[in-house]
Structure 1
Amino acid sequence: MRSTISWRSWKRCSRAPGRTTSKFSRSPSKVWSFCEENAKCDVFFACVVLAVHPDDPDALNCKVVALINSDSFGDALAAIDSAGSVVDLKFEKAYCLYRLGRFAEVLQILQGVENSPGVLQLKAQTLFKTGDLNACVETYETIHREFSIESSEVKSNAIAAYVSGGRSREAFERMRSMQVNPKTLFELAYNVACVLIDQGELSQAEEHLLLARRLGQEMLLEDEYSEDEIEDELAPVTAQLAYVLQLQGRATEATESCLAILNRDLKEKDLPTLAVVSNNLAAIRKNKDASDSLRKLEVVLKKDADGKRLQFPEALGQKMSINQKEALVYNYFLLLLSTNKLNQARELIPSLVEEYSGSSMPVVLKACLSLKEGKIDLAEEVLGEYAEKNSESTVEPLLLCAQARTTAGHYLEAADVLRKATDIRHMPAIVATAVDLKERGGDVQGAQTILLESVKWWEDSMEETRDEIVELLLHEAAKLKLKTKDFAGAAELYERLAKSSSSKAVGLEAITGLVSCFAETDVAKGETFEKQLPDVKVVDASKLEESSVVPGGSKTIQANVEEKPAEEKKRKRKRKPRYPKGYDPENPGPPPDPERWMPMRERSYYRPKKKDKRTAQLRGSQGAISRDTSSSSAVAAGAAGAAAGSNGPSTSKPAETRGGGKNKKKGRR
């Protein structure tokens, strides 16, 4: 049942733009005049001041900021709550909640704070974390419009929001308006590469990623990082380069890059990069080495005590987007199916339905499980109910539903399901599949309707490739009408194709189709179109029969080629033969053996030597007597004794035993 899930390409996830490593990330633009190295000292002195003056606003502010700089966000939040209304620390409280992953409370607090560049940037980053990417983009547009900030960090985060929100085309326009120069900052080069990946410009994306890697190396070398530390810090760039190689079809290089990253043991340093690389490696391998891919994903995905719910580590859950989390869960589930761990997969379904209620992923995974178990009707039922409830559902459930109905032999219903995928219903591959399903189901008229609807849609579209696709669809529609002997309809389509096509080859195909159509209905009109076809060279059959074919080739050589006169032919020079030394050609002697080149055993006159029969009786080690010899001698002795017994009495002497006591050698005293 492995083929039941092979239709769905394994989900790959690009490294999240904007958020790279801890060394390159930037906090919201709130400038504090305290050094992080002295944060603990600042906390101590602030506490000393507060012990004397508990309501001193400067001391309270100093303590909170020092706790934030030392990454003690829980203690900072407790200090803010204990301060009460003595000092306004709403922004600092929102930032602490942001770092603790309590995003809903952050947005609630920021509603009562006056807009400023720092507040808006914190709001935008919070919206980015919650997955509300459109609102995030609008917030960055407000920052750019109202405050005209030239900060490279803000520009980098704005580009990341556009890319993550699927608005990469707008990102290009925004980059021009913001005058983005990717050579100035590591994050900018990285995020511009993400934009190019989303646009399919993979070669340029690879160049920008290499630029980002070089800028990052220069920054870290200035901070006196070692080579191993630099490789660890730049692991996200390496992961994104591997993703680009994967998209380019260079699977071997991508696999080597992913394995090199996984061998660096980034579990404690950069868990999000480790998760992305493990996921992409599983997407490259697919069903190959499924057990190893599953073990690598289990490093970043844990189950609860009951084993019925997947949990993300805290360091991972806060830094990954919702799409990336769905990709991880999706591929983990597919790996469970590939390794035949169906019970574990079945136990995860209820929790996935609960956690991802707004996504189609749980429905798709439940259908995949049913198909794996051979329950095609159940999978069809689940996907059909979802398609009915969600008229604007995503493509994945509809494609899987069409596959299930095709497997069950319901071809017409499968074609109808494909037509519900409005986003891709007019794509050439989907149109070809739907037409084939209609033909299998016997609805040829429905197949023709699908082709003509797609022709009209592409004629009205503004795509660059619309002319080529229209020609392709018209040609297929005409062939289908010709196949069903609708000569008039086929002739009409071929005429449209001949008039609209700018390609000479397509025009000739259309005229050929017209000749085929009018040959059945209007011969005279067919002859007029036949005159538009290029002349065909007439081959004389008799000359063709006289020609011979060159062995191993396709060219022919005429047999009746005029031979040149004998005098014109170049005469070959006769050379005197050279004989071996001492050889007399007039008295050559007996002819040499014609079988001299053959092994002796294969020659006709070979006779093997006869073996001596006496040697066959001598067996065993030197001096031993074989049993056959002793028995024959015993028989001979018995016969002789019998002969002697007839003349007188026989005396018998007992046999002496070997190794008697008298002959035993004495040892040294």
Structure 2
Amino acid sequence: MATTVPELSALFRQTHLHSNNEDILKAANAALKKAKTDVVAQQARVVALLKLDRFADALRAFDEAGDALKQHAQLEYSYALYKAGDLEKALDVAGQAAATGEGDRGAKHVLAQTSYRLEKFDRAASVYSQLEGPSARAMGEENDLRINSVAVDAQLEWQGNGHLVKRKKPQKEDLEAFESAYNAACASISRGSLLEGQVLLQRAKDLCTASEDLPEDEKRAELLPILTQQLYVLIQQGRNEQAARLFETIELSGIPDLSTRQIARINGLVVSPGTDNPFMVQRLFEHSEPLPKNDLLFEYQSSLVRQDQYTLDLRSLKYKGVASSTSRYLSSHPSPTTSAVVNSVSTLNTAACAQGETGKSALKFILPLLEQRPNDVGLLLTILQLYLLTNNHSSAINLLEKFLTRLEESDTSQSLDVRYAPGLVATLISLYSLQGRKTHIRRELAKAAAYWRSQQGSPSDPLLHPNLFKAAGAALLESDVPEDAETALAIFTSLHEQISSDRANTAGLVASLATTNPTAVTLDLLAALTPAARLVADLDAAALESAGVARTAPTSSVETAVKKRPAEGKDKTVKKRIRASRMPKEFVEGKKMDPERWLPLRERSYWKPKGRKGKARAAGLTQGGPVAEDKPVVEKAGVVGPGSGAGAKKKKKGKR
């Protein structure tokens, strides 16, 4: 039976602006005693339970009321599921509510938050972009949306999807509140800009300390996550002494979120004194509280914790245990993959199988594993690293080329994505650079750029790997082939359309147009570049010219040698020092050396033969002198050839 209007008014007359949620709950329960199926009273009851943070009781109330209340109050139901940790179901209910218009903005907020906790950050970013606009300003949600959007951008960077982030730099509005400044710092840290993140964290700390809206206890609670993030930045910068002093000021028990508390405690173990004993560190590491379902670590955080656990086990000489557990993990994740989590576990599995050995001795244990897991990227990179440590560059290049060829021949989308992954392409290019294979570098970059351009849905879609395209375009500009120049033009045109503010993209576009279509270079493109006068403003051309220009060694025998012009004040004549082993036996300092000392004695101009035979031989060698006639050779009669005549043996007489 539905509640009548007078009864409903009486229900809400029992509450007022200053009454607490307990009074509302009592009023709703009293109304439900009269009519158990009253949907309005049921909704008032669950709202009061949610405001009292009694999420399990709220879900129980939904189950008791049945499907009617769940359909009528989808917003409240999705929020109760979200707070209780049932994220998958909360995502479905919030998605239905947002699609049907039930709850409208509230349902979209729950949908975005649930997507965020499920690490579906691309969907969360899309929902927040829908909530932005005039409606957000009218509802007073603009600041909250900015804070949450920056947090999503940071998570996208950590997830490896930085190409989906539109705002790469913190904006002025992000520095007005400590929440947005903290999230902007996290976004900078996720991109690797530690110095920028450190400055923003200090800004967030100052804003939080100076806030007049927060009581002192809430200030302390809000400062603890900021200090925890500062601890991480100091450790990443290698400033362990400062990190240790900062960790002493962090009160772990005061951190409200258990996940943040666990991260702070683990990072503190890195800089705490007395961590040289791996067995003691392992014991302290494993002493942690279980995390609730609604406060779990994100995947990139839990993967790092897992890696720390395996690393401590390896330091404690638990090779078999690490090899067994990591093998089970790898068997449940297909390969090849570009997942940093899976490949990191593969590297730890390789270290466990090598049993602490390095160099050539480790290769004896690891190379047989490649036959069992031929598509394991982490195992491959570990072997490449060992080859490089032993200066075996050729084997490293051959192994990587065979691996990439095998992936290319498989012709599956996943294998091809791994084949042209920027990390593997960069590894191969680095190996080629060690041997000076510029043609191979240009060819590899061109193939990778062509593949990722083919994967782009439309020209307006963002480029997946802009840094790879920049490297490919720059390499193709050095080629003399006209097709390479056209490809470089297409690459830099796409890059400039995507990010026109990047001067590197503009410079690449101008350079490619200069070789293909010089008339297309506009004044706007040239104005966007740094003027040449500014680039050489701090250079003194006259001083450089007077000092002389150093040249590198000739790269080929065809290159002509050009003498370097000496600088002023230096002696132009440099006396060449002769080694003692090349000196004559009777060498006297200051005496002029014989210029014909390297010629044979008979070929020197001052040589005179000694004795009668020597003079006669010299006269015969003189050009134009008398020539002695050859004496005839008289052969002995009867000598016809070998084996006959006096040289032949006589036969012995015998009986006939």
TM range (shorter): 0.5 to 0.7
Structure 2 match to 1:364: 347
What displacement does 1:313 show?
A: 2.3
Name the structure 1 match of 2:231: 242
Q: Which residue of 1 aligns with 2:292?
A: 314
Aligned to 1:253: 242
Determine if the alignment matches structure 1 residue 513 to structure 2 residue 505. no
Alignment partner for residue 123 of structure 1, among 91, 105, 111?
A: 111
Matches within 5 A, 1:37-116: 38-87=20-69, 88-113=72-97, 114-115=100-101, 116=104
Query: How far 1:321 sits from its partner (Å)?
Result: 1.1
Q: Which residue of the partner structure matches residue 135 of structure 1?
A: 123
Query: Does the C-alpha gap of structure 1 residues 368 and 259 become closer, same or farther in structure 2, counting only changes over 3 Å?
Result: farther
> How many Å separate the matches in 2 of 1:513 and 1:409?
24
Matches within 5 A, 1:522-561: 525-526=560-561, 529-530=562-563, 537-538=570-571
What is the correspondence of 1:151-300 to structure 2 with a 5 Å cutoff?
151-166=142-157, 171=165, 173=167, 181-219=173-211, 222-226=213-217, 230-261=219-250, 264-266=251-253, 269-281=256-268, 288-300=276-288
Structure 1, 81-90 or 235-244: larger mean CA deviation = 81-90
Residue 127 to residue 43, structure 1, CA distance change in 2 (3 Å): same
Give SS of 1:530's match: coil
Q: Which residue of 2 aligns with 1:349?
A: 326
**SS of 1:173's equivalent?**
coil
CA-to-aligned-CA distance 1:631-657 (integer Å, 9 cap, x gap): xxxxxxxxxxxxxxxxxxxxxxxxxxx
Shift of 1:450: 4.7
Contact 1:98–1:106 (8 Å) recurs in 2: yes
Q: Deviations over 1:39-96 (max 9, x none)?
A: 3333232212111121222221111011111222111111112222544122211111
TM-score norm. by structure 2 comes to 0.56
User: 2: distance between equivalents of 1:373 and 1:160?
Assistant: 40
Distance of 2:66 and 2:422 partners within structure 1: 54
Asked if structure 1 preserves the Cα contact closer than 8 Å seen for 2:182 and 2:201, the reply is: yes
The Cα of 1:530 is off from its aligned counterpart by 3.1
Alpha-carbon RMSD = 4.7
After TM superposition, the structure 1 = structure 2 runs for residues 456-605 of structure 1, keeping only pairs within 5 Å, are: 511-514=551-554, 517=556, 520-521=557-558, 525-526=560-561, 529-530=562-563, 537-538=570-571
Contact 2:549–2:564 (Cα < 8 Å) also in 1: no
Partner SS state of residue 54, structure 1: coil
Distance 1:141 1:39, change over 3 A: same
* Residues 197 and 111 of structure 1: CA distance in aligned 2, closer, same or farther (over 3 Å): closer
Structure number with the bigger relative contact order (C-alpha 8 A, sep ≥ 6) is 1
Q: Distance in 1 between the 2:226 and 2:309 partners?
A: 24
Distance 1:69 1:36 in 2: 15
Whether the aligned pair in 2 keeps the contact of 1:110 and 1:123 (CA below 8 Å) is: yes
Structure 1 pair 81–355 and aligned structure 2 pair: CA distance change class (3 A): farther
Displacement, 1:537? 3.3
Letter in 2 for 1:39: N
Identity of aligned residues (%): 19
Partner of 1:105, secondary structure, is helix
Aligned to 1:626: none
| DSSP-derived class of the 1:66 partner | helix
Q: Which amino acid aligns with 1:513?
A: A
**2:310 touches 2:348 (CA, 8 Å); kept in 1?**
yes
Q: Which has the larger radius of gyration?
A: 1
